[in-house]
């Protein structure tokens, strides 16, 4: 099958292309495709915001469109809320419209952030039941969740009225060694795994935002890609469905995750001394407009029922495999 990965030069896209490029005819379209240079597939550099006609022609040419174009980093939601909105909603909506126009199946990447913040009460968010719950307008962090949520609604409306065939994916904290970048080398503010890894590699103290009581469920990228492959291979069962992809058994507080990453590094003799840990406020770390999500855990019964998928990598192994290439 001819598969177009829009925004495919990022962490998830590269991992999809690596796994599927010997089975399918894959094309990655992204701002920069350098990080995908070792993957044996077609690569096109371009900016969807500036060259939509190119994207339109590609949509015509390919059978399956996987749309990963997004800013998926909380620091950017706060610093660049307008760009976050236009990238995650306006540009993506054009892609949705053209998939409907040319009758191409769309796999739309969304986010677990659409569920919002349910405090500590969350015991497993269910795709078609859980009510979304985001924060006040001045908390700009929510612009991303709201852009993605509205996009999901439009995708479903296009399915009903324009016969679009789709699958929506809500990823829950995928991790692997090439997830982001080290802030001490490249600057900026990546997601938490890369910050903690950077500190363990010797860049300075670990910073625990608001004490690290907030919880996430970390999913090893290999498990996640297995699920995505099942979605591609089972168009009947995945047709017009929304799937959480995550590892509920790997729920951890951010503080426990920092401790576990340090313990792994000590056990493996990668380091002799652990980095110090400081507590910082969310406002100091991310800036005004940041809001946190206390607990985030997926219900994955639907993926198990319709696709026969369950993740198998434990939290310890997820972190170990993701850290290993940086030390060995």
Q: Which residues are catalytic?
A: 144
Spell out where 131-273 has E strands.
Answer: 166-171, 174-175, 206-209, 215-217, 219-220, 241-245, 251-253
Q: How far is the CB of 170 from ligand UGA (least distance, A)?
A: 8
Q: Are 209 and 282 in contact (CB under 8 A)?
A: yes
Touching ligand UGA, residues 100-119 (CB under 6 A): 111-113
Touching ligand UGA, residues 253-282 (CB under 6 A): 254, 282
Output the DSSP codes for 255-324: HHHHHHHHHHHHHTTS-SSPPPEEEE-HHHHH-TT----S---B--HHHHHHH-------HHHHHHHHHH
Q: How far is the CB of 244 from ligand UGA (least distance, A)?
A: 11
Residue 192 is a binding residue for ligand UGA (CB under 6 A)? yes
Between 59 and 69, name the residue whose CB sits nearer to ligand UGA.
Answer: 69
Structure tokens at 133: 């719950």
Residue 322 is a binding residue for ligand UGA (CB under 6 A)? no
Q: How far is the CB of 248 from ligand UGA (least distance, A)?
A: 14
The three-state secondary structure class of 116 is strand
Residue 15 is a binding residue for ligand UGA (CB under 6 A)? no
Q: Are 144 and 152 in contact (CB under 8 A)?
A: no
Pick from 207, 230, 239, 316 the residue near ligand UGA by CB under 6 A.
Answer: 207
Output the DSSP codes for 35-78: GGTTS-SEEEE--TTT-HHHHHHHHHH-SEEEE------HHHHH
Structure tokens at 212: 């690290």
Would you say the C-alpha torsion 241, 246, 247, 252 has a positive or negative sign? negative
Site size toward ligand UGA, by CB under 6 A: 21
Pick from 14, 105, 195, 295 the residue near ligand UGA by CB under 6 A.
Answer: 195
Backbone conformation region of residue 149, classed left if phi is above 0, alpha if psi is from -120 to 50, else beta? alpha
Between 166 and 172, name the residue whose CB sits nearer to ligand UGA.
Answer: 172
Residue 171 is a binding residue for ligand UGA (CB under 6 A)? yes
Q: How far is the CB of 218 from ligand UGA (least distance, A)?
A: 9
Pick from 83, 178, 226, 292 the residue near ligand UGA by CB under 6 A.
Answer: 292
Q: How far is the CB of 277 from ligand UGA (least distance, A)?
A: 10
Pick from 33, 84, 134, 173 the residue near ligand UGA by CB under 6 A.
Answer: 173
Biggest distance spanned by C-alpha atoms of the chain? 61
Residue 228 is a binding residue for ligand UGA (CB under 6 A)? no
Touching ligand UGA, residues 47-86 (CB under 6 A): 72, 74
Which residues of the chain form contacts with ligand UGA (CB under 6 A)? 72, 74, 111-113, 171, 173-174, 191-192, 195, 207-209, 212, 214, 216, 254, 282, 292-293
């Amino acid at each position: 099958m001819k598969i177009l990965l829009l925004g495919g030069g990022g962490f998830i896209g590269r991992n999809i292309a690596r796994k599927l490029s010997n089975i399918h005819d894959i094309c990655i379209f992204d701002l920069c495709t350098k990080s995908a240079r070792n993957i044996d597939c077609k690569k096109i550099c371009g900016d969807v915001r500036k060259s939509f006609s190119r994207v339109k022609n590609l949509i015509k040419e390919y059978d399956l469109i996987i749309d990963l174009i997004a800013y998926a980093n909380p620091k950017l939601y706060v610093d660049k809320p307008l760009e976050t909105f236009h990238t995650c909603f306006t540009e993506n909506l054009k892609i949705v419209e053209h998939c409907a126009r040319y009758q191409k199946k769309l796999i739309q990447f969304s986010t677990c952030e659409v569920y919002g913040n349910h405090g500590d009460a969350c015991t497993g968010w269910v795709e078609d039941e859980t009510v979304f719950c985001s924060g006040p307008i001045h908390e700009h962090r929510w612009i991303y969740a709201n852009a993605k949520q509205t996009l999901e609604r439009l995708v479903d409306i296009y399915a009903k009225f324009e016969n679009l065939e789709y699958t929506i994916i809500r990823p829950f904290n995928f991790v692997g060694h090439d997830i982001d970048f080290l802030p001490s080398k490249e600057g900026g503010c990546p997601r938490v795994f890369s910050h903690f890894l950077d500190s363990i590699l010797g860049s300075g103290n670990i910073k625990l935002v608001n004490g690290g009581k907030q919880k996430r469920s970390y999913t090893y990228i290999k498990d996640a890609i297995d699920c995505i492959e099942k979605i591609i291979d089972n168009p009947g069962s995945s047709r017009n469905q929304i799937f959480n992809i995550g590892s509920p058994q790997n729920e951890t507080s951010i503080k426990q995750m920092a401790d576990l990453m340090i313990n792994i590094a000590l056990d493996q003799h990668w380091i002799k001394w652990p980095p110090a840990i400081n507590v910082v406020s969310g406002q100091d770390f991310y800036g005004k407009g940041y809001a946190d999500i206390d607990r985030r855990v997926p219900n994955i019964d639907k993926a198990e029922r319709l696709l026969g998928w369950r993740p198998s990598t434990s939290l310890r192994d997820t972190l170990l495999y993701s850290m290993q290439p940086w030390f060995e």
